[in-house]
Amino acid sequence: MRTYLIPLVPGPTTVPAEIRAAYQEDYGSADLEPEYYELYAETQEMLRTILGTRNSVVMMTGEAMVALWGALKSTLRPGDRVVAVATGVFGYGIADMARSLGAAVEVVGFDYDEAADPQRVEEAIRRVRPKLVTMVHCETPSGTLNPVAEVGGLVAHYEVPLFYVDAVSSAAGVPLRVDEWHIDLCLVGTQKCLSALPDLGIVTVSERAWEIVREVGYVGYDALAPFRTALEDRWFPYTPSWHAMAALNVACRRVLQEGLENVFRRHAEVAAYCRERLKAMGIELFPRREEWCSPTVTAAKVPQSLSWPELDRRLRERGMVVGGSLGPLAGKVFRIGHMGAQADMALVRRGMDILEEALRG
Ligand code: PLP
């Protein structure tokens, strides 16, 4: 199916026409034109407001993974101690990434249907004294939201040098306060709550993180270092994508025009509605406690009467596409992505009506 009539995949999300239109223009060379630098600076400023930070905001061509890798490679050296808080596919994955760079990684692991317990994280921080704590705000494959604010408090209390948070599927959908929560490296994508294309990786970088980036001295295509002075120097490490930046600029403007509080309320209301409808159909939510459910994506157990391929087939037949899941949850869990433009009550209501019909066969 090329275009989904009822798009409810938890990313890439449907891209509104206004954002798509930003790709239509024939831009000049981003390396040469002052307008590109103005666009970058303006987009950076809007992202600062959305993410609650005064830190630098680096925007790299690629998608979220380029920022996830670039931030780790730019701040870790072999032997560095890392505490990786893991409650799902991405949390455990980030631990593996850090390990592949030679870091000594202590995983504070939880089941995939749980959110992290800050007490266990505190115990690990006290014992390991890490250079870096990693955490995922919304574990998209499990539909859970982790207590980043609480862990940020611990990071500050124990003076951990760096706090790395994957906010790919929470940023611009749920409250996220980078500075207040002591986040040094906040990783964001464009294709989830911002509803743009998957073409930029975003990372906020604190002053402390910049110092460590300088000490580590990592050089590579995904290195953060050149972005520190890219705007002042009018020099990017490679040709930036003007189209992608123009689209992200429109996406941020839409969020701010609606108002952050309104955006967060819209996500919370749609998610609550989605959970109620699923429960009314006798479908069990995947997170063990409802308070752990993310407002951006709802994960639920595939009903026993159906296989996931059959459920997927019945939904697709009716023009609706949802997400399956990944890793150990593949085939057992399906997900409704109500993030960004898809956090739309009419769309989710229609989706739930179709799901009800599909379950009846
Ligand atoms: N982190 C989380 C929590 C995600 O859900 C995803 C994508 O689904 C990523 C990172 C990677 O994002 P991308 O595939 O855009 O690089």
Per-residue pLDDT, averaged over 148-152, amounts to: 98
- The β-bridge partners of 98 are none
| pLDDT for 42 beyond 90 | yes
Confidence band of 197 (pLDDT split at 50, 70, 90): very high
Superfamily for domain range 6-13+260-360: Aspartate Aminotransferase, domain 1 (3.90.1150.10)
- The β-bridge partners of 189 are 201
| pLDDT for 190 beyond 90 | yes
- The CATH class, in words, for 17-257 is alpha beta
Per-residue pLDDT, averaged over 10-32, amounts to: 96
- Tell me which of 59, 168, 176, 187 to substitute to probe ligand 1's pocket, judged by most ligand atoms within 8 Å of the beta carbon: 168
Domain boundaries, the chain: 6-13+260-360, 17-257
Confidence band of 327 (pLDDT split at 50, 70, 90): confident
> At residue 239, what is the residue type?
T
* Number of helices followed by number of strands (H, E) in the chain: 12, 13
Nearest CA to ligand 1 atom 1: 168
Tell me the per-residue pLDDT of 127-136, one tens digit each, with 9 for 90 and over: 999 999 999 9
| pLDDT for 251 beyond 90 | yes
Which atom, in ligand 1's list, is nearest to the CA of 89?
Answer: 3
- Tell me which of 60, 140, 185 to substitute to probe ligand 1's pocket, judged by most ligand atoms within 8 Å of the beta carbon: 140
Tell me the per-residue pLDDT of 261-297, one tens digit each, with 9 for 90 and over: 999 999 999 999 999 999 999 999 999 999 999 999 9
Tell me the per-residue pLDDT of 43-93, one tens digit each, with 9 for 90 and over: 999 999 999 999 999 999 999 999 999 999 999 999 999 999 999 999 999
How far does the centroid of ligand 1 lie from the alpha carbon of residue 273, in Å?
A: 25
> Across the chain, where does the E strand assignment appear?
6-8, 56-61, 81-86, 104-109, 132-136, 138-139, 144-145, 162-166, 185-189, 200-205, 297-301, 320-322, 333-337
Q: Which two three-digit tokens encode residue 225?
A: 């270092």
CB 147 within 8 A of CB 115: yes
How far does the centroid of ligand 1 lie from the alpha carbon of residue 54, in Å?
A: 24
Q: What integer pLDDT is reported at residue 361 of this predicted model?
A: 80
Please work out whether the CB of residue 85 comes within 6 Å of at least one atom of ligand 1: no
Q: Give this prediction's pTM.
A: 0.98
Tell me the per-residue pLDDT of 81-106, one tens digit each, with 9 for 90 and over: 999 999 999 999 999 999 999 999 99
Please work out whether the CB of residue 63 comes within 6 Å of at least one atom of ligand 1: yes
| Two domains, one topology: 6-13+260-360 and 17-257 | no
